[in-house]
A and B are shown apart, each in its own frame.
Chain A
Amino acid sequence: MDTLTTLLLAFISIVLINNLVFTKFLGICPYLGVSGRIDMAFGMGLAVTFVVTLAGTLTFLLDHLILIPMNLEVTRYVCYILVIAGAVQLVEMYLRKFFPTLYDSFGIFLPLITTNCAILGLCLFINLWQIDNLLEAVVLSFGAGIGFTIAICIMAGIRENLDLADVPDALKGAPITLITAGLLSMAFMGFTGMIK
């Protein structure tokens, strides 16, 4: 029961309170780039959720089974990025072979995910927060993906309507998107203090 509560709290905190996009500024590039249409945003969110869960779990295992016992923490970043690139490549090959329709709908997003800071960022945060429980690491990684999906979908919904609005010339494109993101992050600040 106690572990269940901890896991639930960890999940809520990573989705709402420590949302990667709004409080840690991770994954801003795809956030600005592909959040134009809601279906594309959702596809990107799903792809990221999938890869981030895989990468978070794998890097946690790598850290605790190989790097820390063998005192190889110096090579942590190089190993992490290799694991992420490898995971993306694996997912891409697997999807292309077994789920071609899903692969087509992910399209160009999959290779882009390697350089998505949200993924490497989450792996580093799991390390920084000194999570030492595999289950919690998995829940955190999955929650981070869900949080990213929520953020990018909200944004896409707003931007679809923003196209119809009369925005001053200088603010068109990225500036207004950033300001909207600022207002959204202010809204997400309201969740702070939900968990003590």
Chain B
Amino acid sequence: MKTNAQTSVSICKQTLLAGLWRENPVFRLLLGMCPTLAVTAAVKPALTMGLCVIFVLLCSNIVVSLMRHLLKPHLRILMFTLTIATFVTIADLFLQAYFPTMSETLGPYVPLIIVNCIIICRAEACASKNGLAVSIIDALSMGAGFTLALCILASIREILSTGALWEIKIMPDIFTPWTAMRMPVGAFITLGLLLALVNAITVRKPKSAAQ
């Protein structure tokens, strides 16, 4: 009995860590690229987007996990999408009501969470096979990993494009803002270089372990 509890704890721990680094949705799985690139011109919208995704992921994982025995194989993607669309509508209406300016900045990228591959991927790979607890932890961990990646990318782009972080000036006056970082170009190239960095780190790790 004790070992059983221990294994379930270790499964939870593994799931928790997987989302943050080993299976980080943005850096390792390359999922959910559209919002990653589109909303990361500054940290505030990026964080809002991350929180929206965590909310939707959590709710859809809970619902999918609860109805996993009722799902028919050929209709399951449709069921996932409808569940997700419902929660995205809730998140979108909430943003419109309480943060109208933020809702305008994010524009159509909030409703586009519906087709964000991360959420469907987690519903398919985790929630439709596992119990409630694992699904919740998985949603939190994947959501946190996604938000973290978004914030890293957004801070780099915001510092270089405006010399500020969270709209607070941090660079000296002598710094010339790189306007290109605010454009789509900046998004593509920064993400490309970050992915290269992650690749370089993961390639080095097994080598140093072998030595």
- Interface set of A (CB-CB < 8 Å, partner B): 22-29, 32, 74-78, 81-82, 85, 114-117, 120-121, 124-125, 128, 168-179, 181-183, 185-186, 189
Contact = CB atoms under 8 A, between A and B. Distances in A.
A172 B63 CA distance: 39
Contacts of A74: 89, 93
Contacts of A125: 108
A186 B108 contact: no
Interface in B88-131: 88-89, 92-93, 107-108, 111-112, 114-117, 120
Contacts of A185: 183-185, 188
18 contacts: A28-B37, A29-B33, A74-B93, A76-B89, A77-B114, A81-B82, A114-B77, A117-B34, A170-B196, A171-B192, A174-B192, A175-B199, A181-B192, A182-B185, A183-B185, A185-B183, A185-B185, A186-B183
A178 B111 contact: no
B29 to A, nearest CB: 11
Nearest to B120: A115
Contact of B115 (A75, A76, A78, A115): A115
Contact of B89 (A77, A176, A181, A186): A77
Given A77-B89, A82-B82, A185-B185, A128 B30 contact: no
A117 B37 contact: no
Q: Is the interface of B mostly helix, strand, loop or mixed?
A: helix
B203 interface: yes
Interface in B142-200: 180, 183-189, 191-193, 195-197, 199-200
B185 A186 contact: yes
Contacts of B34: 25-29, 117, 121
A115 B82 CA distance: 12
B38 interface: yes
Interface size classification for chain B = 35 or more
Contacts of B107: 128
Contact of B195 (A178, A181, A186): A178
Nearest to A125: B108
A80 B3 CA distance: 48
Contact of B188 (A24, A120, A128, A182): A182
Nearest to A192: B183
Contacts of B85: 77-78, 81
Given A25-B38, A29-B34, A32-B33, A78 B192 contact: no
B10 interface: no
Contact of B203 (A23, A115, A170): A170
Contacts of A181: 188, 192
B52 to A, nearest CB: 13
Nearest to B186: A182
Given A25-B34, A77-B85, A182 B111 contact: no
Nearest to B183: A189
